[in-house]
Amino acid sequence: MNWMRSLAPVGKFVSWLVVLVCGATPALAQSTNTNCPAVNPGVTVNANGSKDTLYNATWQVAGKTNRRYYIVHTPPGYDPTNPLRYPLVFFLHPGSSCAINARNKPVNLADYADELALAEQPTFFAVYPQGYFDPVTKLGYWNAGNCSGADGVTQSCATPAYTNGSNDIDYFNSVLQQVQSKFRTDTARVYVLGHSDGGSMAHLLGCQPQTHIAAVGSIEGTFKVPTCSLGNPPVSVIAFHSLGDTQNPYYGTGTEAALNVVPNTGREGDTSVEPFTMNLWRAANSCTDAPLKSDPAPSTTGIGTYTLTSNTFCHFDSTGTSSQVLLYSLCDPYYDSDNNPRCDASHNWLYSLSTLDLDWRPLVWNFFQSRKKL
């Protein structure tokens, strides 16, 4: 592979409007297009001293130069002359979206990195790669597979990135190499988190034979490939999935790999069957211990009530590879018209605290920061 590294920002952001509402972070400059807005290359310095910088990644495939942008968020207080090396946390946007939208969500990793830094807690670089940009839909997607051979799948779940042969693995590796060469980062602490289609891509990246990733996270995303063969274990996994997700249902559909290996029984709170996606990771990490399931942990915040059930499919303390595979099953309980208990929580619950007040970021970061690539 002939890597072409282009690290210098290719211009300056145009002027941007600073709006502070309830502590919100100023967003990167963008057009009025609410789908995948145009971004202006350069550096945005936020009010707290953090920076958002847009770079172009270039790489070669079959003699053709490919180019795609990504955003690097530098936490406040970062000093390139300080020998301290920072972890990298990548966030992969969902399908039909883009990197800048993920960065500008009300609840996002970059703002959390700032909160940690300002509280003098260990923090990280947040990196937002851009998926394949479909010229037809004008939206971004990831090539994480087409679900062929995945559990419970009867139809293809291919995105435009898959049908157009987008090489997102090479793109990610290019971004990783560029960021590591530009900033003082810890090469043993690379983490990838994704939402929906981005979660599927995070799973796929963690399964690469020579992966440099120490842990992956997925929110409302499942494997779109039938196997996971690690050449460089361990890779720990944390996943969240709502039992009320109607876009990527917990028990799967004809086009999405089921989290569970049996059809939906109607018992939406039943997570006793080992999930398909988690089982792939369990096998990849050579885990032989019995899975553990916690009792649902209720949380009443005054904003919303939910239960979070953890299923551990690989134990950090009992496996020879020091890996952990953990699934959080989320239920926002309600009763249907027939007075049957059901679970609710939208596919996009992670971007707002106004409904459930469930902040996934400290759970993910606490899980990530204790894992290092051996």
C-alpha–C-alpha distance, residues 253 and 227, integer Å = 19
Q: Is residue 252 part of a domain?
A: yes
CA distances from 87 to 9, 71, 373 (A): 22, 16, 11
C-alpha–C-alpha distance, residues 213 and 236, integer Å = 9
State residue 59's pLDDT score: 77
State residue 225's pLDDT score: 85
State residue 213's pLDDT score: 95
Q: Which domain holds residue 251?
A: 3-369
Residue spans of beta strands (DSSP E) within the chain? 3-4, 42-45, 51-61, 64-74, 86-92, 125-129, 132-134, 139-141, 185-195, 215-219, 236-242, 292-293, 297-300, 305-314, 325-335, 341-344
For residue 169, give the 3-state DSSP assignment: helix
How many domains is the chain built from? 1
Q: Which residues pair with 218 in a beta bridge?
A: 194, 239
Q: Is residue 265 part of a domain?
A: yes
Q: Is residue 352 part of a domain?
A: yes
Q: Which residues of the chain have pLDDT under 50?
A: 1-33, 254-274, 300-304, 318-320
| pTM exceeding 0.85 | no
| φ and ψ at residue 75, rounded to 5 degrees | -70, 155
**Long-range contacts of 154-157, Cβ-Cβ distance < 8 Å, separation of 24 or more:** 154/254, 154/255, 155/254, 155/255, 156/255, 157/224, 157/255, 157/256, 157/257
Q: Is residue 306 part of a domain?
A: yes
State residue 271's pLDDT score: 37
State residue 154's pLDDT score: 56
Q: Is residue 362 part of a domain?
A: yes
CB 188 within 8 A of CB 372: yes
Closest CA to 262 of 271, 270, 247, 251: 251
Q: Is residue 374 part of a domain?
A: no
Q: Is residue 243 part of a domain?
A: yes
What CATH number is given to the structural domain containing 319? 3.40.50.1820
C-alpha–C-alpha distance, residues 22 and 373, integer Å = 38
- Would you call 135 exposed, middle or buried from its count of C-beta atoms within 10 A (0-12, 13-18, 19+)? exposed
The type of residue at 342 is: R
C-alpha–C-alpha distance, residues 344 and 333, integer Å = 6
Q: Is residue 79 part of a domain?
A: yes
State residue 100's pLDDT score: 92
State residue 28's pLDDT score: 41
CB 77 within 8 A of CB 86: no
C-alpha–C-alpha distance, residues 130 and 68, integer Å = 7
The type of residue at 86 is: Y
CB 185 within 8 A of CB 87: yes
Q: What's 74's DSSP letter?
A: E
